[in-house]
Every structure is written in C-alpha cells, then in structure tokens.
C-alpha cells in the first residue's frame, strides 16, 4: 500500500532534518528517508567528529605547552583510542538527540535508499518515492505532495588518485583512523586540508600540504591566507602552493609517494598516508533524477531562490545544489524551501550574509566580500585591521596571533566584509554577520561597547581602524 505525505525529505543530514522539523512545525505531514544514520555527513563524517578531534589535538598541544602558564605537567602523552572514543560518544549523544527530535515532531523516518519515480500508476507527475529498505523488506512506496532533495555530497578525488581507505584517504576515512600515522601528505589546501593539517600537526604528525593554487584557502581574503600560511609554517607544517600533483606518479609500498610539479621542477613527496581534500561532489547519482525534468548542471541540481527545481513541487537544498557547501547554509535553505511549500512567503537567503568558519588552529572566520572581490565589484574601499597582539584577553589566553580585517565602502560607509584569523574567531563572527544583516557601518560597530577584557574588543578596534581611530594600535 502506498503512503501519503505532504513532504518527503530525501536525506536526513543537517539540511534535511532541520527542514523536516520546520515542516512539521508548519503542520505538514512529513517523512524523511535516510540510507545511513540521521544527522548525515555533518554529524557522522564531518563537522562534529572533526571538531572533536581538533579539540583533542588542541588540548594535547596546550598541555605540552602548559609550563608557560605556570602549570607543570610531566610526560604528556596521547591515548588516540580515547580520543576516538570521546569523538564517538559526542556523535552518539547528538545522534540520539536528532532521533528524539524526529519523534517529538512526529516525523516518520524510513531507513533505506530513496529514489524518485517518474509519472506512474501512483501519480501522474514525477515525485513518488520508492524506498529500498535497509531491512531487505519489499520497497516502500510514498506519494508526497512535495519532495525535498537533501542528499548532500561525498569526497571527490583526482583521476588516478583513487581513495583506497588504507593509504590514500578521504576525510571520511581519516576520521576513523585507529592510530595516527607518523607523516601525511595532504592534497588540497582548502578548508578540509587546512583543518586536518592543523589537527594532525597538533597531534605530532609530520604534515605536508600540496595546494594547486598560488595560495592556501584560495576563497578567503588574501591577507587571511597569508597569515594562516605563516602561522601553520611556524608550527612546522610544510606548505607547497602552486603544486601540480601528478596522479600517475602515485606509488604505494610501505609509504605513499607522489610527485608534483612545482616552479618548473618535478618533486617527490613521501609520507605514511595521503589525505585527498580537493572538494566534495553532490550526491545526484541513482536518486531517480532521470525520471524527472530536473536540471543538473556541473554536477549539481539547479534551483530557484526558493529551492524549487524545474519540477516545481520538487525542491533541493544543501550540498547537492552546490554553492556554499556548509551545514548552516543547508539548514537555512531547508527552512526557506519548506516555508515556501507551505505558502509562508519566506525571505530568500542573501549569501553575502553567510559566515564561513574554519576550525584550524588558528581559526578563520569571515562574512561578506574579500578586499579583492569588493574592488572587482567597483567599490572604492577603506580597510581597518587590528591585531590580537594588542588585545589584553588574547595575551591572557596565550593566543596573540592573528587579526580582524574590516572592509567598508568609502562612499556609502557600508560594511562590505569582515575577515578574522585568530583565537575563537568562529565564535565571534556572528557579530559581523548581524552587522551585515542590519546594514551597519563600522561607526556603529565601533560604538557598540565591547566589554573589557574580551577577545571581542578586536572587532571594535578594527571598526575604529577603518577611520584610523583605533585606540590601542
């Protein structure tokens, strides 16, 4: 017998489950189809487990350096099994929480692989969902009024550099290592590459990063990339930018060897493991898109600003539509999509107001335009920059590297972008995000009294610095 719902969400990741909760709050009858575990990549293979490992790495490093705080420790060592157990228990706890939220919202969860069917005896339009059940029972057929595709993405590799899970790893594999390797070569110095480089280095692993572009974190403001590179090199990470990796040269024996062209020379890089972090590919395969009129362009699903595909009752959000592949973007897109299904007239997302965060040590966070982007868009910019070095709380923390950079429009005084590198900046960027949403000027940010002593004072000082009026620098 076919089941009927107002909306079926394909994929129970951060985008999908948040959308399901909002849909249920709006009084819709909701089902989620999930092939693995509710919580998806972010909870099981991404944000949460990687941040747990990053935190263990940070504590390990700080403990080894505790003497500078007047704390004497002896023979600090790492129990990586416990590090992994801690990670798993955090993930388990949050997983139970998501399952509880599904029950609370009376959202039915179907465990299996969902596929969109074309027009059939069940419905004259495409969108019926057939669930290939994980328990091997006969497929469940669901007839929804609306479908929300939230199937996420998977790690990409390079042709010839196949991920084997043993020596050539994706971040999925790396998260489940039983023990730390002595050395790692990381291909790709983007967000994942830099978070892993920082974490593994803090755990004591020898790290080399090979980045194709002329700078690491190429989507960040140039000054931020430069500072992160400087600080990571200071920690002992080897970073090679402008490196053209030659996948055909891959050799695997006791160690893994890869060659890369760099400054006209071919160089060899050897390590115990290789981590490939060259981006993530949207999960568009086998979900039945060929049974619909949905357009897939450059590997991701095309939608309008309410996330409707060419089939107006089938929506798509999150990594599967490309763009900013971030959990908080996916969940907000999901909310807009289901509110649109429920005729709630949601406000479309302004992607220039989305903050991005990188949880390396040092952390990076930014919102809005980089200086180059602002100039390319024709703005006459003024820039304020202020270092953590001059912030009392940063010295107290023992983390004085980094700065905040604010970019404003000379003509309108509008805040165009805020870029941060340094301690706890991922927890501080939302002030800049709110300032952007409220269309604040640096003057208004500077006139928000920032309590002393706090790290947030750096934001007030950087805003003053836009007019050259900073107090402590």
Q: How far, CA to CA in Å, does 458 sit from each of 46, 170, 181, 392, 429?
A: 30, 36, 38, 10, 11
* Chain center to CA of 20: 21
Q: How far is the CB of 175 from ligand NAD (least distance, A)?
A: 11
Q: Give, as ranges, the residues between 147 and 176 that touch ligand NAD (CB under 6 A).
A: 158
Question: What would the DSSP string read from start to end of 261-330?
Answer: EETTEEEEEEESEEEE-S-EEE--TTSSGGGS---EETTEE---TT-B-SSTTEEE-GGGG-SS--HHHH
Residue 190 binds ligand NAD (CB under 6 A):
yes
Q: Give, as ranges, the residues between 80 and 119 that touch ligand NAD (CB under 6 A).
A: none
Residue with smaller CB distance to ligand NAD, 277 or 366? 277
377: its two tokens: 């868009």
Q: Give, as ranges, the residues between 288 and 347 that touch ligand NAD (CB under 6 A).
A: 325-326
Residue with smaller CB distance to ligand NAD, 195 or 401? 195
Q: How far is the CB of 316 from ligand NAD (least distance, A)?
A: 17
Q: How far, CA to CA in Å, does 155 sit from each of 41, 193, 275, 283, 319?
A: 11, 12, 11, 10, 11
Residue 191 binds ligand NAD (CB under 6 A):
yes
Q: Give, as ranges, the residues between 267 and 296 that touch ligand NAD (CB under 6 A).
A: 277-280
428, 429, 430, 432: CA torsion to nearest 10? 120
Of 262, 328, 450, 452, the active-site residue reads 452
Out of 16, 188, 384, 422, point to the residue binding ligand NAD (CB under 6 A): 188
Q: How far is the CB of 197 from ligand NAD (least distance, A)?
A: 11
127/137 Cα distance (integer angstroms)? 22
Say which residues have a Cβ less than 8 Å from residue 468's Cβ, sequence separation at least 6. Answer: none
Q: Give the containing element (helix H, strand E) for 55.
A: helix 47-64
Say which residues have a Cβ less than 8 Å from residue 136's Cβ, sequence separation at least 6. Answer: none
Residue with smaller CB distance to ligand NAD, 155 or 346? 155
Q: How far is the CB of 154 from ligand NAD (least distance, A)?
A: 10
The answer for 27, left when phi > 0, alpha when psi is -120 to 50, beta otherwise, is: left
432 neighbors 409 (Cβ within 8 angstroms): no
Residue with smaller CB distance to ligand NAD, 131 or 327? 327
Out of 184, 192, 231, 463, point to the residue binding ligand NAD (CB under 6 A): 192
Q: What angle do CA 335, 359, 98 make, to 5 degrees?
A: 40
Question: What would the DSSP string read from start to end of 378-424?
Answer: T--EEEEEEEGGG-HHHHHHT----EEEEEEETTT--EEEEEEEETT
Out of 7, 31, 148, 210, point to the residue binding ligand NAD (CB under 6 A): 210
288/180 Cα distance (integer angstroms)? 40
332 has catalytic annotation = no
Q: How far is the CB of 471 from ligand NAD (least distance, A)?
A: 32
Out of 269, 359, 386, 403, point to the residue binding ligand NAD (CB under 6 A): 359
Out of 6, 34, 211, 227, point to the residue binding ligand NAD (CB under 6 A): 211
Out of 10, 358, 408, 421, point to the residue binding ligand NAD (CB under 6 A): 358
Number of residues in contact with ligand NAD, rule: CB under 6 A? 24
Half-sphere exposure (Cβ direction) of 286: Cα atoms closer than 13 Å: 6
Among the listed ranges 185-193, 281-289, 292-300, 450-458, the one in contact with ligand NAD (CB under 6 A) is 185-193
The answer for 234, left when phi > 0, alpha when psi is -120 to 50, beta otherwise, is: alpha
Q: How far is the CB of 48 from ligand NAD (least distance, A)?
A: 11
Residue 213 binds ligand NAD (CB under 6 A):
yes
Residue with smaller CB distance to ligand NAD, 128 or 325? 325
Q: How far is the CB of 93 from ligand NAD (least distance, A)?
A: 21
Q: How far is the CB of 163 from ligand NAD (least distance, A)?
A: 12
Residue 245 binds ligand NAD (CB under 6 A):
yes
Q: How far is the CB of 191 from ligand NAD (least distance, A)?
A: 4
Among the listed ranges 15-23, 100-108, 229-237, 355-363, the one in contact with ligand NAD (CB under 6 A) is 355-363
Residue with smaller CB distance to ligand NAD, 240 or 342? 240
Q: How far, CA to CA in Å, does 66 sit from each of 61, 62, 217, 370, 451?
A: 9, 6, 30, 36, 27
459 neighbors 377 (Cβ within 8 angstroms): no
Among the listed ranges 204-212, 224-232, 445-453, 458-466, the one in contact with ligand NAD (CB under 6 A) is 204-212
3-state DSSP assignment of residue 204: coil
Among the listed ranges 20-28, 184-192, 337-345, 378-386, the one in contact with ligand NAD (CB under 6 A) is 184-192
The catalytic site residues sit at 452
* Positions that interact with ligand NAD (CB under 6 A): 158, 187-193, 195, 210-213, 218, 245, 277-280, 325-326, 357-359
């Amino acid at each position: 017998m076919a089941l009927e719902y107002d909306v079926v969400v394909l994929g129970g990741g951060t985008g999908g489950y948040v959308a399901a909760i909002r849909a249920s709050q709006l009084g819709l009858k909701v089902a989620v189809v999930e092939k693995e575990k509710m919580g998806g990549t972010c909870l099981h293979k991404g944000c949460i487990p990687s941040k747990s490992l990053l935190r263990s790495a940070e504590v390990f490093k700080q403990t080894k350096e505790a003497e500078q705080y007047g704390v004497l420790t002896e023979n600090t060592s790492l129990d990586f099994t416990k590090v992994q157990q801690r990670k798993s228990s955090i993930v388990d706890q949050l997983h139970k929480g998501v399952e509880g939220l599904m029950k609370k919202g009376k959202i039915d969860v179907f465990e299996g692989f969902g596929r969109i069917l074309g027009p059939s005896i069940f419905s004259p339009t495409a969108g019926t969902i057939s669930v290939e059940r994980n328990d091997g029972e006969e497929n469940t057929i669901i007839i929804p009024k609306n479908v929300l595709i939230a199937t996420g993405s998977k790690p990409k590799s390079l042709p010839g550099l196949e991920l084997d899970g043993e020596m050539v790893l994706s971040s999925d594999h790396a998260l489940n290592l039983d023990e730390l390797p002595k050395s790692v070569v990381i291909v790709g110095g983007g967000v994942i590459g830099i978070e892993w480089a920082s974490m593994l280095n803090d755990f004591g692993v020898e790290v080399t990063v090979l980045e194709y572009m002329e700078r690491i974190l190429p989507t960040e403001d140039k000054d931020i990339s430069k500072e992160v590179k400087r600080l990571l090199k200071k920690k002992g990470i080897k970073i090679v930018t402008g490196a053209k990796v030659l996948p055909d040269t891959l050799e695997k024996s006791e160690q893994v060897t890869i060659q890369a062209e760099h400054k006209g020379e071919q160089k060899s890089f050897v390590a115990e493991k290789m981590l490939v972090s060259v981006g993530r590919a949207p999960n568009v395969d086998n979900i039945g898109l060929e049974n619909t009129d949905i357009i897939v362009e450059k590997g991701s699903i095309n939608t309008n600003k309410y996330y409707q595909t060419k089939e107006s009752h089938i929506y798509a959000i999150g990594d599967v539509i490309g763009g900013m592949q971030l959990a908080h973007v996916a969940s907000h897109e999901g909310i807009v999509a289901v509110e649109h299904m429920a005729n709630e007239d949601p406000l479309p997302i302004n992607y220039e107001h989305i903050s991005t965060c990188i949880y390396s040590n040092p952390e990076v966070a930014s919102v809005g335009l980089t200086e180059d982007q602002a100039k390319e868009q024709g703005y006459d910019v003024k820039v304020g920059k202020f270092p953590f070095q001059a912030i009392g709380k940063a010295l107290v923390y023992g983390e004085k590297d980094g700065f905040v950079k604010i970019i404003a429009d000379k003509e309108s005084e509008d805040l165009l972008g805020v870029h941060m590198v340094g301690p706890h900046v991922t927890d501080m960027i939302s002030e800049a995000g709110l300032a952007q949403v409220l269309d604040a000027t640096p003057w208004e940010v500077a006139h928000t009294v920032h309590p002393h002593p706090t790290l947030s004072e750096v934001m007030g000082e950087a805003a003053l610095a836009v007019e050259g009026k900073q107090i402590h620098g």
